[in-house]
Structure 1
Amino acid sequence: MYSRTFFALMLSNASLRVATMMLVALVPLYAFDLGLSPAEVGLTSTLYFATAALSRPLAGWLVDAKGRWMAMLLGASFFTIGTGLYLLSLPVWLFLALRALQGAGFSLNSTAVGTLATDIIPEKKLAEGLGILSLEQTVVTIFAPGLALTLREVAGYETAFGVALAFCLMNFLLRIPLAKPAKEVERRRRASMSSAANRGFLQLVEKDAWRPATVMLCFMFGTTCVNTFLAAYGQQQGLGNVGLFFVASGVALAISRLLMGWLRRRMSLTAIVCFGVLFSAGSMALIYFSASMAMLIIAGACFGLGAGVVSPAMNSISVLSAKPEARGRASATYFFALDVSTAVGAWVLGLVASAYSLREVFAVSGVLVLGALLLILWLHCTQRLPRKGF
């Protein structure tokens, strides 16, 4: 599993992820400094995530029809072009259009990378491999935003965007070793395809992956409250700075990803998902009843452990539910569920907070997370998952 191709994929994706997280921190501040209104600043995020979500089905089709390598390069190109143009003085409409372009690039790249990973990782170790591959996301999330803000303070926006652009260009260099293995995978995949396998452009969503993707939709719909409302809730409850929650969560997330191989050898994927969902629901309960920072730190550890195993396990189930020639669409269906849950979940839970209180948001979120548990158990017990052994 730990081949040269695997590590090249991990490093190349990490370099683009650094640029992505730097821009997450920089773009809203840059937009305010350009004189954009709060509504226009909000549009920078809305357009990015909305375009990413809407382009997922097309990205899945493109990955299957044109190949992983082509889709990766196209997505990275979109993102790099957008990053480079931030160095210029732009009108508001073009600034917003660049965020939409980068959203499409992010969608193409992440779908292609996720699909290629499922091609090169043995099926029996898929959950473990996807967990290790996503470790870079945890590490990058810790330092990239801080790097961006430090560069902005010390050297200004031009330098900060320049460094982000350098990481984008580094991504292209690190993708070069992936060309040969990606094309070899594509050759084998096409040789094994049946004549009816190419179902055309209109088959954008993989029918065998939508059930497990729905489980992830329900799970992420509930857990999106943490990033959106926890900081405000901590202040409201007099708990102070909730940064230690995210530190505990990040450490636990990394540990859980490293433990995926050990868990997979002892448990089915469904059992791993149930294990993770229970930890996540427990985290929501601990947040709801938190009266001290110590309890909040324990909640963070539970949250990280839960999310760390649920994501790679459900990703594996979604992809392995589909035929090999449809893995691009299966990956896109899975990521589309994540995009929709993140975009819609925060808004719906915000309505709950407005109608009741921030505290009640975490109670509702806990119920939604448990809904994912009931759904995966129902799919498993009624044998509605396409493959046995899950």
Structure 2
Amino acid sequence: MGYQKEKLFNIYFFVIALVNLASSVMMQMFNATIALHMDALGSAASVSGTIISIGAVSATVYRFFGGKICEKRGRRKLMVIGMADFALMSLFMGLTNALPLLYILRVLQMFGYSMASTCASVAVIDVIPQKRVGEGLGYYSLAASAAQAFGPSVALFFYHTEGGFFSVMSGMCFMGAVAVMITLCFLNYEIKGRKASDQWNTSGQENEGKGIWQYIEKRALPAAWVYFFVTLTGSLVTMYLTLFASRSGIDNAGMFFTISVVFMVAARIVSGKLSDRRGVLWAVVPGMLLLISGYMMLIFSDEIHLLFYIAGGFYGFGTGMASPALNAQAVKGVPKTRVSVASSTFFLPMDISFMAGSVLWGVMIDYFEFRLLFIMAAGLSCIAVLLSFLLFSARPKQQRVETAEQVL
């Protein structure tokens, strides 16, 4: 049988993608300026790291329960509440310099971000045809790539105005408010009773399990485990690559990220179609091999600076190939009543690895050379490749789930 194409783009898809873009840009704006703000207040550099880590803990806690809550309360309602909370807490953070209050507001801010992003990731699956879920998620995730490209620049533009950090937070609040209004006006498929998610497996009432399995979808575990290694190694790049470039005398380290975003955008478009038509391994394994190649180039880039920028292309294309394919795999074959829990399960590793990576890599940098850390990142990526073959090989679905549970 040929590959039958179904309509992918609709008004709901674009509204949800816009919410994803707004929340991603807002997050990039905050991350790009919080260290500058703390430095201006005379605080130690570690304070900004603590603020970010506290927010990650808050996001992780909500993400664990968020899928279940989203299924019960509805996507649209929680997206609006989450974005409104994210916007307002950001504004309040711009109005105070008291550190204890900033910590409290950061917890509430990330609670709202996690709520909005979790519900958006579920809602977009509702409106994507099942046979094109990989391709659809590839396009949807372009918003995050775009945010990485211009979010920090927008933040720095606002920061260098007269208002400084308050201008950045006000800009974030405005973006969040716009996203809330557009969501209220146009994202009404649940209100109209459109059963967009009915295209998913709905045969019978699935046993949701007891205890922890109410909040974790077993069928999403294989993709979640592989994604954990992707994001854990990626945290070394996102958090500490600029420090490596500074110590190695590499100019314009930001060009690495610009190059990576360009290649990431191209890869996300290719990855979705490839995983839909040929299977998840055809996207994930090449993506991981590209990541390994990128880390190997970084090992020698302190001596050959050109390799630093080439590695950016390999890193971007590899990440762009693997991430959307794994996301699509996490929700394939999941009953519609569990799609939100599956999506939440898949993104939990991202939050956990962000917390663990900030500590793990940070401590190791104090004792080891970056070269050894890049070797370790390549080694962990090799583990992800082996896990991919183990968990996504042509075996019955139940056996793959049982293997993932044994790992857990």
Q: Is the 8 A contact 1:209 1:321 kept in 2?
A: no
Residue in 2 that maps onto 1:255: 266
Match among 109, 132, 142 for residue 139 of structure 2: 132
Q: Distance in 1 between matches of 2:137 and 2:64?
A: 21
Match among 176, 184, 200 for residue 184 of structure 2: 176
- The one-letter amino acid of 2:385's match is L
Alpha-carbon deviation of 1:177? 4.0
Q: Is the 8 A contact 2:145 2:265 kept in 1?
A: yes
Task: Kindly indicate whether residue 345 of structure 2 is the aligned counterpart of residue 333 of structure 1.
Answer: yes
Alpha-carbon deviation of 1:382? 6.9
Q: Is the 8 A contact 2:11 2:186 kept in 1?
A: no
- 1:19-38 aligned within 5 A: 19-38=26-45
Residue in 2 that maps onto 1:162: 170
5+ residue gaps, structure 1, are none
Q: Distance in 1 between matches of 2:332 and 2:120?
A: 16
Q: Is the 8 A contact 1:83 1:164 kept in 2?
A: yes
Alpha-carbon deviation of 1:258? 2.2
Residue in 2 that maps onto 1:224: 235
Residue in 1 that maps onto 2:377: 365
Task: Kindly indicate whether residue 19 of structure 2 is the aligned counterpart of residue 7 of structure 1.
Answer: no
Structure 2 vs 1, CA of residues 193 and 92 (structure 1 numbering), >3 Å: closer, same or farther?
A: farther
Aligned pair count reads 388
- The one-letter amino acid of 2:308's match is L
Q: Distance in 1 between matches of 2:202 and 2:178?
A: 34
Alpha-carbon deviation of 1:128? 1.2
Alpha-carbon deviation of 1:254? 0.9
Alpha-carbon deviation of 1:42? 2.7
- The one-letter amino acid of 2:310's match is I
Alpha-carbon deviation of 1:218? 1.6
Task: Kindly indicate whether residue 306 of structure 2 is the aligned counterpart of residue 298 of structure 1.
Answer: no
Residue in 2 that maps onto 1:78: 85
Q: Distance in 2 between matches of 1:301 and 1:199?
A: 43
- The one-letter amino acid of 2:313's match is A
Match among 385, 389, 393 for residue 381 of structure 1: 393
* RMSD value, Cα: 2.6
Task: Kindly indicate whether residue 105 of structure 2 is the aligned counterpart of residue 94 of structure 1.
Answer: no
Q: Distance in 2 between matches of 1:191 and 1:286?
A: 44
- The one-letter amino acid of 2:388's match is I
DSSP 3-state at the match of 1:224: helix
1:239-261 CA-partner distances (Å, limit 9, x unpaired): 33322221211110011122235
- The one-letter amino acid of 2:118's match is T
DSSP 3-state at the match of 1:180: coil
Alpha-carbon deviation of 1:335? 0.7
- 1:239-250 aligned within 5 A: 239-250=250-261
Alpha-carbon deviation of 1:3? 0.9
Structure 2 vs 1, CA of residues 328 and 85 (structure 1 numbering), >3 Å: closer, same or farther?
A: same
Task: Kindly indicate whether residue 212 of structure 2 is the aligned counterpart of residue 212 of structure 1.
Answer: no
Q: Distance in 2 between matches of 1:124 and 1:187?
A: 14
- 1:178-197 aligned within 5 A: 178-183=186-191, 184-185=193-194, 192=202, 194-195=204-205
Q: Which moved further from structure 2: 64-73 or 363-372?
A: 64-73
DSSP 3-state at the match of 1:250: helix
Residue in 1 that maps onto 2:405: none
- The one-letter amino acid of 1:66's match is R
Residue in 1 that maps onto 2:290: 279
Match among 27, 49, 55 for residue 48 of structure 1: 55
DSSP 3-state at the match of 1:209: helix
Q: Distance in 2 between matches of 1:32 and 1:94?
A: 17
Residue in 2 that maps onto 1:307: 319
Alpha-carbon deviation of 1:36? 4.2
